[in-house]
Every structure is written in structure tokens, then in C-alpha cells.
């Protein structure tokens, strides 16, 4: 079997390769374990790429396991969205979709085993009392008065907990480890709590639910996971992870490895905070294109390959940091630059009337989808007497550095002709109605003047052929660089994070653009047709401008 990866090395790949070479494992088996309590975000994508990516690199397997042990926050909607988003990102769990809730009976059996081994007991302390008994980092904990119950009594009480004899929170099953351990999670952690909450899969059949630390490692063991990756905040829990696996004595012995969370500037990667944005209606749902959720990025026009490339370059380290958003945008742009056909879209139209162009004439011009690529395909673009250009491409008065349309100066309409502005038509209030031009009939492609050096080259759309469209422009959702560090993060929402333009004019070749198809509108940025836009209702989202706003377009 191939055990040397061509991908950049990181500490987890190194461990995996060593384990395969030494024969400790014959196959890598990982899992991605989301809790179905929200939509996946860009941070999760780091874990997904690590879990699925590393398994794929070494011909191993990666399971998708819903970590659904906390029913009050979980739902089927979340579970379904998670599956959709992982598929979209390009990964496949084949027939290995699992739910921790499928293991409830097995996990309960493991708990009974621990009780029988004298390693777990039923405790009657309340949550507050337990906290007080636990001690602090500098002060050892105190044994619970219920710690030395007999195995028989514990077995009886555990069964009656399960049977619903006791009130919520009145009893807990706890591991019997060490109340003076320097590692807080080892101070007799809870294994089961009583909680009468309806579960979206098991209904009301359970009134006790296993705690994360117990359910997670043993679910890994049940599935034969070899390398269990998670983020650094679980570092301390690793000792407990190993303890449960060892004491229960499962045949498989998974090992946990931690890497740093992904944090990105100007956005938030916490499910709880993203939920607050949705519930507070600060955004238009989980898939709002300003959201860092996978479905939001998808709707925005980000390609899944770009996310995977970004993660690959990021690697898996142990150093916590905040990655500047321009670094992510860079990979998104590079992908779009390569893969999106270039077309004409006018966002803020200004009508140009070409006075010396014949009234009803229409010329079909063959235009490349990417002039820098001689292999690129072409489409036909109609040209006629009236065309739209961007308002910002015209000024009545301008200095010499403005290479666009100004009365008396000549500019080129890309792929078409050179035009000179002759006059400006205004209404009684002085608003510009249209701009009159004359064109040079010799300046068309192959014409005598077509090679003339002209600095200003504008994009345009023939007025009578244009598609009317709504275009949505986006900016960062937050005005501060690190909103995740603030409790009142909703006070820093960027009021200009969404601009809706209702009067845009697109070239007619976009008539059949599929929802989610991605395009470059020349000079205006990268766009994708909105996922919900169909028929004659044309809505395009701007994914990104052509260059970033951080003063550079270079690799950061
Ligand atoms: P949150 O803290 O936002 O609620 P979570 O970690 O509780 O997220 P889970 O659904 O439990 O969300 O996460 C599933 C997996 O994704 C876990 O292994 C977790 O470590 C990983 N993960 C979550 N957020 C990030 C992140 N920002 N960067 C890298 N991995 C992450
Ligand atoms: Mg979690």
C-alpha cells in the first residue's frame, strides 16, 4: 500500500505514516463528528479537509458521525444541512453515516461495565454542589459522599435513572477517577445526566444522555477509528479519552490528536454566535452570502476547490492564530480567475447613443471568454446604436489621468469600436439622461484604425439586447478585525455589508446562466447567479471584486 503522501507534511500525516509503516495500523480510519446544532462554517471545513483528506491520502476511510448527544440544541434540519455541505465540499462518507444516538444502548452497556468494575458511581450531588466539590486548579477536590456506594447499589440506581424514577438533575453517573488530579476533567467527571428532552432521533426513549467525553471516545472505538482529530480545546480531555477507552477495554484503541482551530479575521466561527446572527435577523438566514457558513460561501459563489486549496496551504499546526480574510479571498480569487468565463455586465448603467451608427443595425461580435487564453471559447455579443456603460466610466470634466469617457476624448468599447463623446443630454434638473457619441467605423476588429493605441477600454452592453438583473454586492459582515473576541459583536455589523443594485444590465449570453454558475464581469469582479434565481428573474451575487481592498492583490 502507498504510505507516502505527496501532500505537504504535517504532524498528523507524520504520525499516520509512522503508524502505517510500523504496522500499528493497516488502514487509517478517521471520522468527522459534527454536533447537529447548527450549520457548518469555514472552521469546520478545516476539520473536514483534515479528516476526509488524510483518510483519502492513505486509502483509508472517514466516517461521518453526528455527535447527537445533547438533544436540546439539535435537529434534523441541521443534520441534513451538514450532509449537503460536506458533499458540496467534495467529500464522501460512502455508506458510513453514523449517529452517536445509534450507540445509546451500547454506551449504556459500557457504563454498566464501568460500574461493575467499581469505576463509576451514582452521585446525588446537585450540579452546584459538584462544582464546589471539584475544587480549582490550585485546590484539590473533595470526594463526593456518594463515592463509595456498593456496586449493587450503583447498578440499581443507574437502572432506575434510566427507567425515569428520578428527577432531572437529581442524580448523575460519574467516573471514579481521582478528585485530586491536577487535570480538572479527571476529577470524577459525569458520564450520564438525567434530562427529559425529546431527541430528534430516539424520541422519548431515553431520559438519561451520555456526556460528550464519554460518548465521543467510545463512539470512535465502536467505529474502529484509528486517528481521532479534533481542535486544541480538547487537549486536556485526551487523558480522559484514553481512560474511558482503556477502562471499558474496547477492542479498537483510537488515539486523539489536536490541531489549532481556524479563526478568520472580520468574521465569526462559532456556531453559537452564528445562530445569534440568524435568530436576531442580522442576516438573511444561515445561507446569507455574508455568512462564513459553507452554504453562505456557496451562495456567495465560492468554489469548493478554493476552500480545499486554502485548507491545504494552511496545513494543520498547533499554533492558534487569526488568519486574515484576504488570505482566504486570495485562493477564492485565484480559482475564479482561472475558471470563470469573462463577460460584460453593467452595474450602474449610463446610456450612450451613437449618433452616426445606423438606426436598426445590429452587429454580432465574436468575443473571447478570456482574451488572455488563446484556447478560450467565444460567445457572440450584439452591438447596436444604444449601449450602456458604467456611470463611473463617464465624467463631464476630468484630468488627464481619467482614461475613460470625457467629452471630446476617444475611448474603446471593448471588442467593438472607438467612440468620441460629443454631447451630454440632461433633464430639467441637470441629471444626465444619456451621452451622445460618434463612432469610428474604421476602428472595428480588422478595420484600418482597429490597432490605434487607446488607453480607455470600457465594457458595455447593447441596450435593446440587455438582460435586466439585480446584483448584490457584499462587503465584510463586521467592521472590526476580530469580532469573535467581542461579546457585543452584533454592534459591529457593517452597514454596508450588502448593497442591492436593481437596475443592472447584462449581456444576453447570460440568458441561460445556471443558478450557481460563476462569471467574471469584466472590470467589475466575480459573480455567480443566485442559487434561487431562475427564469426571467436574474439575480447575481458578487463573490469578490477583482482586487482586494487591503492595498494589495498579491499573495499575503
Ligand atoms: P462551535 O464551537 O462553533 O460550536 P464545535 O466545535 O462545537 O463548534 P462541532 O460540530 O462539535 O462544533 O465540530 C465538529 C468538528 O469540527 C470538531 O472536531 C471540531 O473540533 C471541528 N471544528 C469546529 N470549529 C472549528 C474551527 N474553527 N477550526 C477547526 N476545526 C473546527
Ligand atoms: Mg463540539
Ligand of minimum distance to the alpha carbon of 49: 1
Write out the H or E segment, with its range, that includes residue 367: strand 363-368
Average pLDDT over residues 351-374: 96
Could you tell me if the CB of 43 is within 6 A of ligand 1?
yes
pLDDT of residue 453: 85
Is residue 252 predicted with pLDDT exceeding 60? yes
- Distance, in Å, from the CA atom of 509 to the CA atom of 124, rounded to the nearest integer, reads 72
Q: Is 271 a catalytic residue?
A: yes
pLDDT band at 553, cuts 50/70/90?
very low
pLDDT band at 156, cuts 50/70/90?
very high
Instruction: Report the mean per-residue pLDDT for the chain.
Output: 95
pLDDT of residue 550: 76
pLDDT band at 5, cuts 50/70/90?
low
Ligand of minimum distance to the alpha carbon of 233: 1
Q: Kindly give the pairing relationship between strand 97-99 and strand 61-66.
A: parallel
> What is the whole-number distance in angstroms between the Cα of residue 282 and the centre of ligand 1?
23
Is residue 154 predicted with pLDDT exceeding 70? yes
Query: pLDDT tens, 234-247?
Result: 999 999 999 999 99
User: Lowest mean pLDDT: which of 190-199, 289-298, 310-319?
Assistant: 310-319
Is residue 6 predicted with pLDDT exceeding 90? no
The better pLDDT of the pair 399, 305 is held by: 305
Query: pLDDT tens, 54-68?
Result: 999 999 999 999 999
Could you tell me if the CB of 283 is within 6 A of ligand 1?
no
Average pLDDT over residues 341-349: 98
pLDDT of residue 2: 52
- Distance, in Å, from the CA atom of 187 to the CA atom of 190, rounded to the nearest integer, reads 9
pLDDT of residue 555: 38
Q: Kindly give the pairing relationship between strand 418-426 and strand 498-506.
A: unpaired
Q: Is 261 a catalytic residue?
A: yes
Angle at 353 between CA 348 and CA 354, to 5 degrees: 130
Q: Is 35 a catalytic residue?
A: yes
Could you tell me if the CB of 490 is within 6 A of ligand 1?
no
Could you tell me if the CB of 271 is within 6 A of ligand 1?
yes
Pocket test for ligand 1, best of 10, 30, 37, 44 (most atoms within 8 A of CB): 44
Average pLDDT over residues 89-107: 98
Query: pLDDT tens, 467-497?
Result: 999 999 999 999 999 999 999 999 999 999 9
3-state DSSP assignment of residue 165:
coil
Could you tell me if the CB of 484 is within 6 A of ligand 1?
no
> What is the whole-number distance in angstroms between the Cα of residue 157 and the centre of ligand 2?
30
SS (H, E, C) 342-363: EECEECCEEEEEECCCCCCCCE
Average pLDDT over residues 458-462: 98
Query: pLDDT tens, 398-419?
Result: 988 899 999 999 999 999 999 9
pLDDT of residue 321: 87
pLDDT band at 554, cuts 50/70/90?
very low
Pick the residue whose CA is nearest to atom 26 on ligand 1. 43
pLDDT of residue 344: 98
The grid coordinates of residue 122 equal: 451514582
Average pLDDT over residues 113-137: 97
Could you tell me if the CB of 44 is within 6 A of ligand 1?
yes
pLDDT band at 452, cuts 50/70/90?
confident
> Taking Cα atoms as reference points, which of 127, 118, 107, 242 lies closest to residue 193?
127
Q: What is the number of the ligand 1 atom nearest to the C-alpha of 263? A: 27
Average pLDDT over residues 70-79: 94
Average pLDDT over residues 428-449: 92
DSSP state of 31: E
pLDDT of residue 445: 84
Q: Which residues of 9-45 are buried (b: 16+ CB within 10 A; e: fewer)?
A: ebebbeebbebbeeeebeebbbbbbbbbbbbbbbbbb
What is the model's pTM?
Answer: 0.94
3-state DSSP assignment of residue 97:
strand
Amino acid at each position: 500500500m502507498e504510505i507516502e503522501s505527496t501532500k505537504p507534511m504535517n504532524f498528523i500525516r507524520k504520525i499516520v505514516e509512522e503508524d502505517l509503516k510500523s504496522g500499528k495500523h493497516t488502514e487509517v480510519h478517521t471520522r468527522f463528528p459534527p454536533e447537529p446544532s447548527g450549520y457548518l462554517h469555514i472552521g469546520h471545513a478545516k476539520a473536514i479537509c483534515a479528516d476526509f483528506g488524510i483518510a483519502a491520502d492513505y486509502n483509508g476511510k472517514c466516517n461521518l458521525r453526528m455527535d447527537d448527544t445533547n438533544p436540546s440544541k439539535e435537529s434534523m434540519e441541521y443534520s441534513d444541512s451538514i450532509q449537503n455541505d460536506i458533499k458540496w465540499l467534495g467529500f464522501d462518507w460512502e455508506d458510513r453515516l453514523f449517529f452517536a444516538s445509534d450507540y445509546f444502548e451500547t454506551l449504556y452497556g459500557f457504563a454498566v461495565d464501568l460500574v461493575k468494575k467499581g469505576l463509576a458511581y451514582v452521585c446525588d450531588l446537585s450540579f452546584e454542589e459538584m462544582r464546589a466539590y471539584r475544587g480549582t486548579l490550585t485546590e484539590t477536590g473533595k470526594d463526593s459522599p456518594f463515592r463509595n456506594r456498593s456496586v449493587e447499589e450503583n447498578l440499581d440506581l443507574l437502572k432506575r435513572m434510566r427507567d425515569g424514577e428520578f428527577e432531572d438533575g437529581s442524580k448523575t453517573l460519574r467516573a471514579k477517577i481521582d478528585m485530586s488530579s491536577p487535570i480538572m476533567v479527571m476529577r470524577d467527571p459525569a458520564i450520564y445526566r438525567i434530562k427529559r428532552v425529546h431527541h430528534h432521533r430516539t424520541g422519548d426513549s431515553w431520559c438519561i444522555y451520555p456526556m460528550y467525553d464519554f460518548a465521543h471516545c467510545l463512539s470512535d472505538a465502536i467505529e474502529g477509528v484509528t486517528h481521532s482529530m479534533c481542535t486544541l480545546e480538547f487537549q486536556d480531555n485526551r487523558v480522559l479519552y484514553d481512560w474511558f477507552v482503556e477502562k471499558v477495554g474496547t477492542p479498537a484503541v483510537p488515539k486523539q490528536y489536536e490541531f489549532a482551530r481556524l479563526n478568520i479575521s472580520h468574521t465569526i466561527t462559532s456556531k453559537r454566535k452564528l445562530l445569534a446572527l440568524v435568530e436576531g435577523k442580522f442576516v438573511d438566514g444561515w445561507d446569507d452570502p455574508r455568512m462564513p457558513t459553507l452554504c453562505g460561501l456557496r451562495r456567495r459563489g465560492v468554489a469548493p476547490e478554493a476552500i480545499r486549496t486554502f485548507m491545504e496551504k494552511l496545513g494543520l499546526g498547533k499554533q492558534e492564530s487569526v488568519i486574515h480574510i484576504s488570505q482566504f479571498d486570495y485562493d477564492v480569487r485565484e480559482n475564479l480567475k482561472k475558471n470563470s468565463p469573462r463577460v460584460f455586465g453593467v452595474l450602474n448603467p449610463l446610456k450612450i447613443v451613437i449618433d452616426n451608427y445606423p438606426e436598426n443595425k445590429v452587429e454580432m461580435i465574436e468575443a473571447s471568454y478570456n482574451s488572455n487564453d488563446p484556447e478560450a471559447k467565444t460567445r457572440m455579443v450584439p452591438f447596436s446604436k444604444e449601449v450602456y456603460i458604467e456611470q463611473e466610466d463617464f465624467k463631464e470634466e476630468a484630468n488627464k489621468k481619467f482614461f475613460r469617457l470625457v467629452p471630446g476624448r476617444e475611448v474603446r468599447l471593448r471588442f467593438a469600436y472607438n467612440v468620441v463623446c460629443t454631447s451630454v443630454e440632461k433633464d430639467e434638473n441637470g441629471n444626465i439622461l444619456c451621452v451622445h457619441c460618434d463612432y469610428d467605423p474604421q476602428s472595428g476588429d480588422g478595420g484600418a484604425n482597429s490597432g490605434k493605441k487607446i488607453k480607455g477600454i470600457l465594457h458595455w452592453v447593447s441596450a435593446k439586447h440587455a438582460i435586466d438583473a439585480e446584483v448584490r454586492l457584499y462587503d465584510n459582515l463586521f467592521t472590526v478585525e476580530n469580532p469573535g473576541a467581542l461579546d457585543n459583536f452584533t454592534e459591529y455589523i457593517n452597514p454596508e455589508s450588502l448593497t442591492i443594485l436593481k437596475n443592472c444590465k447584462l449581456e444576453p449570453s447570460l440568458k441561460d446562466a445556471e443558478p450557481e454558475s460563476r462569471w467574471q464581469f469584466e472590470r467589475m469582479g466575480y459573480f455567480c447567479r443566485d442559487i434561487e434565481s431562475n427564469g426571467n428573474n436574474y439575480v447575481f451575487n458578487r463573490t469578490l471584486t477583482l482586487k482586494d481592498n487591503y492595498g494589495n492583490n498579491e499573495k499575503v
